[in-house]
Homo-oligomer: A and B are copies of this chain.
Amino acid sequence: MSAEPAAAYRMPNQSEIRIETVLQALADPVRLEMVRQLAKDDGELTCGAFDVPVSKSTLTHHLRTLREAGVIGGRPQGTTRLNWLRRKDLDALFPGLLDGVLAARH
């Protein structure tokens, strides 16, 4: 899958983030693992830096799902994009949710 055009890039404002959509986005083992990796040091990961056993196109799909749900943010950097966890927004809206999810053994 080719890179999305800039116009297709969509990230909800904090007030647009819905709990059902966040839960749906987190309810997938691969996406949950991606969130764990982003949470590890609250840093930014390029699309190629995630350590998950999926194809590049599937990864792109998961990133889009997480981004459109408001779980992660992203910004372009050269030909790739840096992704980060929207921890402040999620903690403000659903205090405890992210910590609870990350506390799960896996």
Q: List residues of A whose CB falls within 8 A of some B CB.
A: 18-20, 23-24, 26-29, 32, 93-101, 103-106
Contact = CB atoms under 8 A, between A and B. Distances in A.
How many copies make up the complex? 2
A27 B23 contact: yes
A103 B95 contact: yes
A104 B91 CA distance: 11
A92 to B, nearest CB: 10
10 contacts: A18-B104, A24-B27, A93-B104, A93-B105, A94-B100, A94-B101, A95-B103, A96-B99, A97-B103, A98-B100
A29 B104 CA distance: 23
Contacts of A32: 19-20, 23
Contacts of A97: 96-97, 99-101, 103
A98 B93 CA distance: 13
A18 B105 CA distance: 9
Given A94-B103, A95-B96, 19 more contacts: A18-B104, A19-B32, A19-B101, A19-B104, A19-B106, A20-B29, A20-B32, A23-B23, A23-B24, A23-B26, A93-B103, A94-B100, A94-B101, A95-B99, A96-B98, A96-B100, A96-B103, A97-B100, A97-B101
